[in-house]
Amino acid sequence: MIDSPIAADISVEAYDRITRELRNQPRWRLNSDTDCDYYDGAQTSVEVIQRLKDAGIPPQDSNLIKPTINAVLGIEARSRTDYKITSDDAQQTELAEGLSARIKEVETESRADRAMSDAYSSMIRAGVGWVEVSREFDPLKYPYRVREIHRNEIWWDWTSREPDLSDARYLRRDKWVDRAQAARMFPDQAELIGNSWSGWNNLDVYEGSDTRMARAYEIEQAWGHGQENYLNRSSGMVRLSELWYRHLEDSYVLALPDGKSIEYREDNPYHEAAVSRGLVQVQKSLLPRMRVAIWLGPHKLMDVPSPLPHRDFPYVPFWCFRKDRSRTPYGLIRDMRGPQDQILDLDILLYEVLNSVKVEVDNDALDLSQNTYQEVAHNISSLRSMTVLNSQRRNARGFRVTREHALAAQVFQLIEERKHRIEAVSGVYRAMLGASTQATSGVAINSLVEQGSTVLAEPNDNFRYARRLVGQQLLAFIKHDMLGKQATVVVKQSSKQRTVYFNREVMTDSGPVIENDIETAQVRVVLEDISATPSFRAQQLQALSQMVQEAPPAYQAVLYPAMLELSDVPNRHELADQLRKVGNVDSLDPLMQQVPDHVEQPLEQARQKVQGLQAEQKLSHGRTSWT
């Protein structure tokens, strides 16, 4: 980023350099589009279609890639987990629980789970998927918006090496919009948009007093790219390029005693107090700043600082695999295309072999008054044929018809081998598809499933990392909108509910204190370890059922309500509460009553020791308000 600096308020020359860099990137998009065509069953070329037609073979439907990819997508749907907010500070546990409930609501209402599933599908098929995390412009809708963006709309700095593009200088999104809509979006630039659309035929830029229009006309004439790149007059649409770029600015940071650093802000009185008292060290540093500019071809319609509450791009990449040399993305289909092509070719060959016959005939074997050689050759390939032989022929076996059935069996064996090769290169085995396999025992089948999960470890790990990035951006929006405002969130725990208050002022012996202050929250986003999908809850229910059957009666009274809450029975939480009341198991005391006397005393000592350590931890984690 320092080697190729970009200044604030980017110039036309700098934007032209970025455009040229993007145009010279490796040509990977066509290959990704072809991968998606194979998934959609459009892998048959024009030459192959003509070959089928000439051979009289019906169109082939041998797409083995789609069910294989669908199996991978199904694994993601079954193993989906929820967001969870955690904190290393024991005093902010309640705050983290409240934010966890809040981010789960945001994930549901903004349809973030659907957007990330679509991005996962794109990354598995094409190699990369994109998710946009932004605010909703429509005031009547939910305030946050999470949408999947097509890969061909996004262009990024190819020199970036970080998976989250934190070291990228820029990212651009191209979007075609209606010309009238673009003029309404930028009313101050409506005249410029209209002149560029009309080819500057309705304005003499040099006779008027508007030098801005004259400058815009000269910039467009010097632009090295055709107007068809950003003007589509047949459809009445224009292409707007949304450029997010980073530039470096001199700034100051405060080195805190705990080793962390925060940016110094003059409008923060706590920062001023900490500096004046010498509690922190002030260091000068170069910090990256984010800006966004909207371009119509060579015309800059807008250039402002980033309105986002974080320092990242609003577009999160979901990578599958990336080549080591060129860094081009690719998905699982790339290695499956070869076997799929071979299966299609072998299917055609199999039809040709089954329909082919070999005829050996002596020159006097046919009655040429009834049939000709051409007629015999045509009729012999059909299921019903009649051939009139010469009764005066010298050789009784002078007419022989042979079909190559042995060769057909070999071709069929090759087809089956290529089907297994698709499984091998993708790592998705028949056991994962629910199909029959050569494995006879449950352990062997589970081993195949586990092996497939291991092969998919890198894409799934990349997906979890990208999901966390989306969660971090959602958390940044949530915290920004809650700053300085009193708010409440209802936290559900089993069938019980409690209210968590944010930014509420409470009176203590030492004076007023802000309870659960969002501004000082030291929290982060993680993913739950336990999946929240119905299939995984069913597996947990089955495992817990086996435990309940083998447990003593006293333990069963406690485990039965927990087992009921894992089911999908309506009103299961209310029914579980009724079971607890009937069994008088509101706590773990009935279990402690079953513990022998020689074990109960050490357990009580351990419990008191843990409570003491928790109390000490709360006292030792006090924080000053300026952090």
pLDDT at 111: 93
| HSE-up of residue 484 (Cα within 13 Å, Cβ side) | 1
Query: 538 pLDDT band (50/70/90 cuts)?
Result: low
Residue 118 scores a pLDDT above 70: yes
**Which three-class secondary structure state does DSSP give residue 58?**
coil
Cβ 336 vs Cβ 425: under 8 Å: yes
pLDDT at 22: 94
Task: Work out whether the CA dihedral 421, 422, 426, 430 comes out positive or negative.
Answer: negative
Provide the 10 A C-beta neighbour count for residue 23: 10
Phi-psi category of 86—alpha, beta or left, where left has phi over 0 and alpha has psi -120 to 50?
A: beta
Residue 374 scores a pLDDT above 50: yes
Q: Which residue has the higher pLDDT, 6 or 622?
A: 6
Residues 546-584 pLDDT 10s? 777 777 777 777 777 777 776 767 666 777 777 777 777
Range name among 147-151, 197-201, 404-408, 587-591 with the lowest pLDDT average: 587-591
Residue 525 scores a pLDDT above 70: yes
Q: Which residue has the higher pLDDT, 586 or 321?
A: 321
Give counts: helices (H), strands (E), the chain. Answer: 21, 20
pLDDT at 603: 42
Residue 148 scores a pLDDT above 90: yes
Top-confidence range, 47-56, 200-209, 218-227, 458-467: 458-467
Residue 619 scores a pLDDT above 60: no
pLDDT at 452: 53
Question: What's the pTM value of the predicted model, to 2 decimals?
Answer: 0.77
Query: 199 pLDDT band (50/70/90 cuts)?
Result: confident
Q: Which of 74, 124, 68 is nearest to 435 (CA)?
A: 68
Helix axes 405-426, 337-355, angle to 10 degrees: 170
Residue 176 — φ and ψ, nearest 5°? -90, 125
Residues 86-104 pLDDT 10s? 988 888 889 999 999 999 9
Residue 424 scores a pLDDT above 80: no
Tell me the DSSP string of 582-593: HHT-SSSHHHHH
HEC assignment per residue over 182-200: HHHHCHHHHHHHHHHHCCC
Q: Which residue has the higher pLDDT, 207 or 534?
A: 207
Q: Which of 39, 8, 534 is nearest to 332 (CA)?
A: 39
Residue 627 scores a pLDDT above 60: no
Q: Which of 177, 115, 171, 107 is nearest to 142 (CA)?
A: 107
Dist. CA 537–CA 567, nearest whole Å: 7
pLDDT at 99: 94
Cβ 285 vs Cβ 252: under 8 Å: yes
pLDDT at 609: 46
Query: 361 pLDDT band (50/70/90 cuts)?
Result: confident
pLDDT at 515: 87
Residue 307 scores a pLDDT above 70: yes
Q: Which amino acid is at 379?
A: N
CA distances from 108 to 82, 219, 360, 492 (A): 10, 46, 73, 16
Q: Which residue has the higher pLDDT, 403 or 450?
A: 403
Dist. CA 257–CA 207, nearest whole Å: 65
pLDDT at 478: 95
pLDDT at 414: 81
Dist. CA 264–CA 57, nearest whole Å: 74
**Which residues does residue 295 pair with via DSSP β-bridges, in sequence order?**
241, 300
